[in-house]
Amino acid sequence: MNPLDRRDFLTRMTLAAAALSLPHYGFSSIGRADDFVTTDTTYGRLRGARKDGVNLFKGIPYGGRISGDRRFRRPATLEPWTGVRDALEFGAPAMQGPRRNEPAPSEDCLFLNVWTPANDSKKRPVMFYSHGGGFVGGSGAAGGQDGSNLARNFDVVVVETNHRLGLLGFLYLDELAGSDYAGSGNMGMFDIVDGLKWVHDNIAQFGGDPNNVMIWGESGGGAKTSCLYAMPSAAPYFNKASIESGPGVRMASKEIAAETTAMLFRELNIAPKNWRKLLDIPAADLLAMQAKLPFAPPFQEKNNKKSLMERRAGGFGPVVDGVALPHNPFDPTAPTISRDKPLLVGWNEDEFTFFAWERKDTEFAKLTFETLPKQLETQFGENTPQIIETYRKANPNATAPDIFIAVSSITMMGLGSVDIAEKKVKQGGAPVYLYNFGYKSEKKIPGTDYAMGTPHAMDISFKFNNEIPPRDGSAPKESFFGGNRPERFTASHHFAELWTTFARTGKPAAKDVPAWPAYNLKDRPTMRIDTTCEVIDNRFSQELAMWRSIGKV
């Protein structure tokens, strides 16, 4: 049992996406809609469904074909339709393993979903969400992300896309395939930009304001948001952003992406000059080959030996190609292109308990202060004694498992989040707000007496305000991660109100929540989100000073 390092992260995000598709978080069925509603778009008329005060349009195509001769390229032109097209069923997710309660994955996957209080002329803020799952899994219909409660309770419009993932979305062919394949290493990101352009052109018909769009996302969706924040093609289509438990500070270089492509050709026994053979291989076979390649982190971090960790070849994600993604999203600085766009960034306090749960790891809960060093040395080497000493001093009542979880969680998601916040402040533009989500679930990790706390991905159902009592007055069901305590409903409302207010105004605020000051390098204020929220200055000051001293921030 070892700490989860960034090289393992991408694999785990695929599994996380599958795990969070369980029926505990299922979307409302449209089969018993209160009524149907139609609206116009630039491509034709759509029919959606109205239920419980929300209009939901599912499976709206926003791009054309990306299979056949369009594989690894920009989509074919989306052709308009005549008559009224039903938008009552979710569209196919990108190629991946089967997903619960969703259509079969397909190479042609450019669909989006819209939740709105009404298709009227009211200019509501638009919350454009990128799903998690690293860069290899997930969809815009993933469990926990139902936008109904946000739309109904906070008068916003929610949009979620499917987009290319993995090898089909991020295989770097620019140096082999010619101008038609320019930007091939970022096709999955270009798809999201196309979704944003669709919003710009059409969302007014759904009661949304095309000039007030917030991009946001958790885990892999946070890393996607980090990239969008730095992409010139995305810049005209959003006004603010939120990066949640997925700080995408650095992405793959062209050199590493080219090595990954060469690795794929070797595995397929294809000479690079014969790259066109990739167009004839069934998508399912490419997916199987993707699973055989080594995984690499979707983003990179500092280590204590050199300024940047060299990412190993393998794995698929955005490429710093100098054009689509001109530079690393937040290295060496925050992107100038988004200087004037407010930003939220943060992480969950106990991120790592999710991965212990997912891997059925019970050994961490048996750690003692005698055995803890061995578990951390694999990742931190000679710095391990200093790390443990610092955490024991800063957290005198913490057990050895507590320290293991704290160290693993902050290195996974926290240090990159702080790095982003600091670089945004140094830029001197729009404000950045740093947060920690801290509501504690009492659910135990199976096989242990250790509570989940605030695991990775638990924030999804909270920030979408999907932790609420049933509307029919029946007894609440246990939340998949959030447990049984009714206090979770208050924490969920705080989280959702803070985010929707930020979407509306560019400044997060909520009733019964203290004023949230923008992050600065003097007080370093952090909002801790819980049943009772509080602003904490210089949070984790001892721990962060230590991480800086060994070059991790």
Q: Which residues are catalytically annotated?
A: 219
Tell the residue number behind the tokens 């200055």, with chain if given. 537
Here the tokens at position 45 are: 């008329």
Give the separation between CA 40 and CA 30, rounded to whole angstroms.
20
- Roughly how many angstroms between the first and final C-alpha of the chain, as a whole number? 25
Torsion-angle region of 275 (φ positive above 0: left; ψ -120 to 50: alpha; else: beta):
alpha
Give the separation between CA 426 and CA 421, rounded to whole angstroms.
9
Torsion-angle region of 238 (φ positive above 0: left; ψ -120 to 50: alpha; else: beta):
beta
Whether omega before 332 lies within 30 degrees of 0, making that bond cis, reads: yes
The conformation of residue 411, written as its DSSP 8-state character, comes to: I
Query: By C-alpha distance, which of 458, 459, 466 is closest to 151?
Result: 466
Q: Is 332 exposed, middle or buried (0-12, 13-18, 19+ CB in 10 A)?
A: exposed
Q: Please say whether the beta carbons of 242 and 301 come within 8 A.
A: no
Q: Quick one: the chain helix, strand, coil %, rounded to 5?
A: 35, 15, 45
The conformation of residue 517, written as its DSSP 8-state character, comes to: P
Longest C-alpha distance within the chain, in Å? 71
- The string over 494-508, giving b where at least 16 C-beta atoms fall within 10 Å of a residue's C-beta and e elsewhere, is bbbbbbbbbbbebeb
What pairing do the DSSP bridges indicate for beta strands 319-320 and 252-253? parallel
Using CA atoms of 174, 179, 185, 188 in order, give the dihedral in degrees to the nearest 10. -170
What pairing do the DSSP bridges indicate for beta strands 343-348 and 252-253? unpaired
Tell the residue number behind the tokens 């997925």, with chain if given. 246
Give the separation between CA 352 and CA 172, rounded to whole angstroms.
31
Query: What sign does the dihedral 462-464-468-474 (CA atoms) show?
Result: negative
Tell the residue number behind the tokens 């995984």, with chain if given. 295
